């Protein structure tokens, strides 16, 4: 790898060899040129970096500090060069990611399609499952990152990014609440049949915390762990479901469903990105996460502003 600077290269080599002459031979420079680089660096730092002893050049305390910094800088520089080369070629880029079943239906295919059009050398391994399953996969090294609703990560796994997700009521386009002018709250919904996520799931727990009394005024028509079931049952009835934008993006864009945000306190739960502690992202993974963030932010902006959009429009 090329050196970050000639002065650093000479300084490092003299420290390794303990001799200006030996460093000059290794570097294919003259001893005078190497010595001048050392003198220039010492002038820049303001203190001697070497003790000139009869047996050779020995680092001072300041020199030892500088050497550690120089080598860190060189490693960072080498890593950056390797990453730039990866970005340029991406011959071996591979992304191992875990997402929820709903994200695997809508958001992730858009991200992969967009990225593949620009970087055909990137390949993907995708696992879908519950949040617990995905985080376990990260902890065990089976996937590199997981994208799911927030939950406590297991040992060795950390949350590195969060996107706020508002919870909303999902309904058929002709539902009476579709044109209700006031802000929608959970208590406004309980007069209708409810299709709820199963007890213990994150979206159900949110509803319980928001207004447990209102939620328990009637028995749910259906309790399920399946987001597609919620969407399908709601689409053809007066029933209501409660989902986040990631769950209903395509159906809302296609006009099959309407989604209205709930304005109760606590009606928000982030989707988060998790990775192993100490995990170093390769270039392909960084590109993937940048594209995931772009698409996710654009999708949620459409929900927040009421803008009508479609997945096809976003891909262009």
Same domain as 187, residue 260: yes
Same domain as 258, residue 173: yes
Residue 75 placed within a domain: no
- Model pLDDT for residues 14-51, shown as the tens digit of each residue: 999 999 999 999 999 999 999 999 999 999 999 999 99
Same domain as 157, residue 283: yes
Q: What is the mean pLDDT of residues 234-262?
A: 91
**Dihedral pair phi/psi, residue 135, rounded to 5°:** -65, -35
Same domain as 181, residue 207: yes
Same domain as 217, residue 130: no
Residue 314 placed within a domain: no
Residue 316 confidence (pLDDT): 37
307 — pLDDT class (breaks 50, 70, 90): very low
Same domain as 231, residue 174: yes
Residue 120 confidence (pLDDT): 86
Q: What six digits make up the tokens of 223?
A: 């309790």
Residue 270 confidence (pLDDT): 87
126 bridge partner residues: 97
Full domain range(s) for residue 139: 90-162+269-303
Side-chain-side CA neighbours of residue 157 (13 Å): 26
Residue 3 DSSP code: -
Residue 308 confidence (pLDDT): 31
Element (H, E) at 314: helix 311-315
Residue 168: helix, strand or coil by DSSP?
Answer: strand
Number of structural domains (the chain) is 3
- Model pLDDT for residues 72-128, shown as the tens digit of each residue: 888 788 777 777 776 665 556 789 999 988 889 888 999 999 999 988 888 999 999
Residue 314 confidence (pLDDT): 37
CATH number at residue 226: 3.40.190.10
52 bridge partner residues: 57
- Model pLDDT for residues 129-173, shown as the tens digit of each residue: 989 999 999 998 899 999 998 999 999 999 999 988 889 999 999
What distance in Å separates the CA atoms of residue 128 and residue 114, rounded to the nearest whole number? 20
Q: Residue 192: is its pLDDT beyond 60?
A: yes
Residue 3 confidence (pLDDT): 64
pTM: 0.63
Residue 315 confidence (pLDDT): 39
Please state, rounded to an integer, the average pLDDT across all residues of the chain: 87
Q: Residue 256: is its pLDDT beyond 80?
A: yes
Residue 84 placed within a domain: no
What distance in Å separates the CA atoms of residue 207 and residue 217, rounded to the nearest whole number? 13
């Amino acid at each position: 790898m090329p050196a970050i600077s000639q002065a650093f290269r000479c300084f490092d080599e003299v420290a390794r060899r303990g001799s200006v002459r030996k460093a000059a031979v290794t570097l294919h420079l003259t001893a005078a040129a190497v010595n001048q680089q050392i003198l220039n660096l010492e002038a820049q730092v303001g203190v001697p970096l070497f003790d000139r002893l009869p047996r050779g050049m020995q680092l001072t305390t300041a020199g030892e500090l500088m050497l550690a910094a120089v080598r860190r800088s060189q490693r960072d520089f080498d890593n950056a060069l390797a990453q730039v080369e990866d970005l340029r070629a991406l011959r071996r880029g591979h992304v191992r990611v875990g997402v929820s079943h709903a994200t695997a239906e809508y958001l992730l295919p858009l991200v992969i399609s967009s990225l593949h059009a620009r970087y055909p050398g990137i390949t993907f391994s995708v696992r879908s499952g519950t949040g617990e399953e995905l985080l376990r996969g990260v902890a065990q090294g089976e996937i590199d990152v997981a994208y799911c609703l927030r939950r406590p990560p297991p040992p060795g796994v950390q949350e590195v990014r969060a996107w706020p997700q508002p919870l909303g009521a999902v309904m058929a386009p002709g539902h009476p609440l579709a044109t209700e002018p006031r802000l929608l709250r959970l208590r406004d919904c309980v007069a209708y049949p409810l299709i709820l996520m199963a007890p213990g799931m994150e979206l159900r727990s949110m509803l319980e915390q928001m207004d447990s009394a209102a939620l328990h005024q009637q028995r749910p028509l259906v309790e399920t762990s399946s987001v597609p079931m919620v969407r399908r049952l709601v689409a053809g009835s007066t029933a209501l479901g409660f989902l986040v934008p990631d769950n209903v993006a395509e159906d809302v864009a296609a006009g099959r469903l309407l989604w209205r945000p709930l304005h109760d306190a606590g009606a928000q739960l982030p989707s988060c990105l998790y990775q192993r502690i100490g995990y170093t992202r390769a270039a392909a993974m960084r590109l993937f996460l940048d594209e995931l963030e772009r698409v996710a932010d654009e999708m949620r902006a459409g929900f927040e502003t009421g803008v009508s959009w479609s997945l096809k429009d976003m891909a262009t």
